[in-house]
Amino acid sequence: MNIAVKNQKSKKDRIKRSMLILGGLICIFVLIVIIRTYNIYQKDLPSFEKLHNIEPALKTKIYASDGTLLQEYFNENRVLTPYDQIPPFMIDMLMAVEDRKFMDHWGLHPKRIIKALLVDIINWDIAEGASTITQQLARMLFLNRRETIERKIKEALTAIKLERTYSKQEILQMYLNQYFFGRRAYGIAAASRTYFNKSVGELSVSDCALLVGLLKAPGRYSVRIFEDPEFAKRIRNQSLYLYHDWGKMSREEYDSLKILPVELNPPVEEAGRAPYFTEEVRKYILNKYGHETLYSGGLTVITTLNWKLQQVTDSAVKERVDSIQARLERIYDIKNPTYTYAIPDSVDSLGDTVRVYKQIQAAAITIENESGNILAMVGGKSFESTKFNRAVQSELQPGSAFKPFVYTAAMDNGYHPSDIFYDNSIKLEIPGTRDWRPHNFDDKFMGEMTLRDGLKMSRNLIAIKLLLKIKPEQAIFYAHKMGITSDLKPVASLAMGTEVVRLIDLVSAYTVFPNGGIKVPYKYILKITDRYGNVIEDNTVVPKEEVLSARTAYIMVNMMQSVMERGGTGQSARWRGFTRPAGGKTGTSDNFCDNWFIGYTPQITSGVWVGFDEKLSIGKNQTGATNALPIWVKMMIAAHDTLPIVDFEIPDGIEFVDICLESGKLASDCCEKIRNEVYRTENVPQEICPLHPCSGFRISPASKTDNYTDPGDTSDVYHF
């Protein structure tokens, strides 16, 4: 008996030793497999350095100069939220639904893995998930979502490395900032705003339950919850039940919450503020820093835009454009093929069309003179209709708004505002073409007048004669160095603004006048910082270049102030309410197609264009003063709302003397038409007016009256 017991005990010992040996061999085998597997996939796993430097894609934010958010650009709509700002019940809700053992495991959950493996073997497919929160994070950060054994292995190994690199709190923070919640929302902050229009701190337990419920299938669920309120309620209640089941909520609380409806409150989708302006900023960043930085780099861009002024500009443009459009639609029949076009009436029927009116457009820009900061920009009536920015992209005929460049070239090369020219008919004989007989806006002639009055009243024939005196190439030289970038042909019609320019160039070039001859490049951006707050671009230092003498610039300012006075083409600015010291110029292209007004004060320069996208008349007598100037006035009143009233600075070497308007010489006591005129000190006239000696005699030829009538057959002839 004892021998039998002894033999039986010995047998059990042998079995036990065999089991221990077998278990040891299995452990060694498993260890070898693990080591071998790790070595095989090690090269494909993220390094510890990469794990330490995880940078989720962040959106770039564009701000106005006052901090108003204008626009956001992103591939993944994400705002990072620190762990201590995430509601504790959101953390618990996540663990209750996804991984209750999260705080205890080391990246993997062995029991869940074995269970999932058995289910997969039985189904002969990868059907059962066993991923921990850490494994899900590993997959989001570094791996694809294909359900393969290889990906599962890499996921597990990466999860282990994540657990060795980060604390549990850091992993939870990364998870909730990284995960996709549907509807382009990445991370809890974007999801809070997308579904509830709340900040993270404002989320309720019920809100968090829905967000966690979305994680199972964010693409499908994020659509369905808006279509099916009962479905939204069901996935929220599943999360609430698991939260209660884990002991984080009483039965009474669960019962009271589960009957409540899901209250979704998505924010209203907008095109963004100042869309024409921000699109220029977007293109600049894309070209300089690249697609990845723009859409994933988390840049903060502080722009030059004045948001209050932008709103006034938007409103002024819309109001004026709507008024012109209404007038055109009253005048022209809907069947008129010039002002309307046909569009398909229905996608269902072939050949059916309906006619609609062509849309009048406008563009406007305001620039701060000293800094070059673009304060406001509108590129058209509607960014949603067309993203084409007419303030920057369109090249259009400026009409008389180009004349200041002709006069600038003349004033800088020996001419004076008091020089007398004749406003009479001219004929240009151009070899190989028909003779050209240009005309004034009103088809009249005013005879002898000063260059100042020629600019003030925008007399085309005076400008053409002056251009031919100084040569077109000279005017082009000054236009280019002041800021015009388009190609300009040296033709006589250049004086009438027949060569095309961009609005932004024209406005920028005009800033040279109030800047005392200094050219300051325009800019959109003040500063750009990266996701860590490091400044990567600072434009607060303003580059400056002297392109005109201060005296020439001031003489032009003084002449262009006359445009705003009584009898000038810009005089309506005064009775419209803008009374500050200002200079400017109207512009109207041939056949009333393009209307312009560009004007400035010592602090601000603004420009407006109104017209069609094609060369189409706005209507007879529709001029820059009629349509562009009203917009300009509203912009400038708003732009100067908080600025002091200042006058233009008079540089050294400038003097004012009384001259006779009929002779252009120093006025005598007997001259009746007198003006206090501006000169360089060395160019002050020394000769007393010979037409009005104080002996009682007066010479005043009829040809020098304001009612001068051109005889028609005595035109000045120029060979060009």
Residues carrying an active site annotation? 98, 400
CB atoms within 10 A of CB 681: 10
Backbone angles phi, psi at 594, to 5 degrees: -120, 125
Give the bridge partners for 361, in sequence order.
611
CA 501, 502, 505, 506 torsion-angle sign: positive
Q: Nearest Cα to 143, choosing from 129, 119, 159?
A: 159
User: How far is residue 290's CA from residue 475's CA, in Å, rounded to a whole number?
Assistant: 39
Mapping DSSP onto H, E and C, the string for 250-266 reads CHHHHHHHHCCCCCCCC
Cα gap 181→199, rounded to integer Å: 15
Q: Which residues pair with 62 in a beta bridge?
A: 71, 301
Q: Are 715 and 425 in contact (CB under 8 A)?
A: yes
Closest of 536, 56, 540 to residue 301, by C-alpha:
536
Measured between its terminal Cα atoms, the distance across the chain in Å is 138
Residue with tokens 């312009």: 596
**Can you read off the two tokens belonging to residue 335?**
């069947």
- The Cα-based distances of 342 to 328, 334, 544 in angstroms read 17, 10, 50
Distance of CA 406 to the CA centre of its chain: 33
Query: CA 713, 716, 720 angle in degrees (round to 5)?
Result: 125
Around 440, how many Cα atoms within 13 Å sit in the side-chain half-sphere?
20
Question: In one letter, which amino acid is 654?
Answer: I
Distances 432 to 224, 473, 499, 585, 688 between C-alpha atoms, Å = 73, 21, 21, 34, 47
DSSP E strand boundaries for 420-566: 420-423, 426-429, 447-450, 518-519, 525-529, 535-538, 545-546
Measured CA to CA, the distance from residue 532 to residue 425 in angstroms comes to: 68
